[in-house]
Amino acid sequence: MTVIALTIAGSDSGGGAGIQADLKTFSALGVYGASVLTAITAQNTRGVTAVEDVSAGMVRAQMDAVFSDLTVDAVKIGMVSRTETIECIAAGLQGRKMPVVLDPVMVATSGDRLLQEDAVEGLRSMLLPLAVLATPNLPEAALLCGMKMAASRNEVIQQAETILKTGVGAVLIKGGHASGSESIDILLDSTGVQEFAMPRLETRNDHGTGCTLASAITANLALGYPLADAIGLAKDYLQGALAAGRTLRVGGGHGPVHHFYRWWSA
């Protein structure tokens, strides 16, 4: 039986993040990818120059089309910039039993803000309670909590506890924005704290890492792995994509990771 994952996210015209990164990741991990487009960005490796939202009605029409025909095993939610879109997605997912991974894409790697300020509360109250996992990075976790960016392990755990109170099943706060020889992601759920550490790689090609990790976790959940295993396998995949991506020559800014490093060499 074909395993299917759905990504609900924005488009990256440069191909390194968003819907494009999600579908590449699903494919690389042996999962069929379907998509619902929430926004179109004019974007490349140097930054975002324009954003145009897809209407809430069209987002819902895409969701209905997918769910009426495809048996979806897991869902990943990425960029949702407006409250209307959040309300539409929440309504479309109500009552569905597949695992949902929420990657709260609030700020692009380039620093461009992708989530409107008045939509943050909608993300907290409507989408987080539907998800088995949220995967904010350190700046996104701070925005979700209304706090300064965590500067210590204890502060990361404190912010994860705050996010967990929204009703989300688990929180994985990614440590890519921290310093040190290792990048440490911290998972908090009802059973406690677990850490996922990887050597920090020096590379300019790190565009789309958050999208790639969240979609890899989603693909692994669709394949039937328990949450901690799904995260561990996704971390391994991303580390390989980052390492192989150092030799990619795409654009003049932050290039993409190499999603298909297991299939062809850069």
pLDDT at 113: 58
Q: Which of 17-21, 106-110, 186-190, 258-262 has the lowest mean pLDDT?
A: 106-110
Please state, for a pLDDT cut of 90, what percent of the chain lies above it.
79
pLDDT digits over 101-151, tens only? 999 987 655 555 566 677 788 899 999 999 999 999 998 999 899 889 998
Q: Which of 36-45, 111-120, 202-211 has the lowest mean pLDDT?
A: 111-120
Domains along the sequence of the chain with CATH: 4-245 (3.40.1190.20)
Q: Do 40 and 55 contact (CB within 8 A), yes or no?
A: no
pLDDT at 118: 73
- CA–CA separation, 89 and 102 (whole Å): 12
pLDDT surpasses 60 at 232: yes
pLDDT at 213: 97
pLDDT at 1: 85
pLDDT at 121: 86
pLDDT surpasses 90 at 230: yes
Residue 199: how many other CB atoms lie within 10 Å: 9
How many degrees, rounded to 5, is the angle at CA 138 between CA 162 and CA 41?
A: 110
pLDDT at 175: 84
Q: Do 13 and 249 contact (CB within 8 A), yes or no?
A: no
pLDDT at 72: 98
pLDDT at 57: 96
- CA–CA separation, 210 and 60 (whole Å): 25
This prediction's pTM: 0.95
Q: Do 7 and 215 contact (CB within 8 A), yes or no?
A: yes
Q: Do 243 and 235 contact (CB within 8 A), yes or no?
A: no
- CA–CA separation, 189 and 38 (whole Å): 29
Parallel, antiparallel, or unpaired: how do β-strands 4-12 and 74-77 relate? parallel
Average pLDDT across the chain, whole number: 92
Q: Which of 204, 146, 196 is nearest to 171 (CA)?
A: 196
Q: Please compute the mean of the pLDDT values over residues 179-187 and round it to a whole number.
A: 81
pLDDT at 107: 63
Q: What are the DSSP calls for 214-245, one per residue?
A: HHHHHHHHHTT--HHHHHHHHHHHHHHHHHHH
Parallel, antiparallel, or unpaired: how do β-strands 100-102 and 182-189 relate? unpaired
Report helix angle 209-222 to 227-245, nearest 10.
140
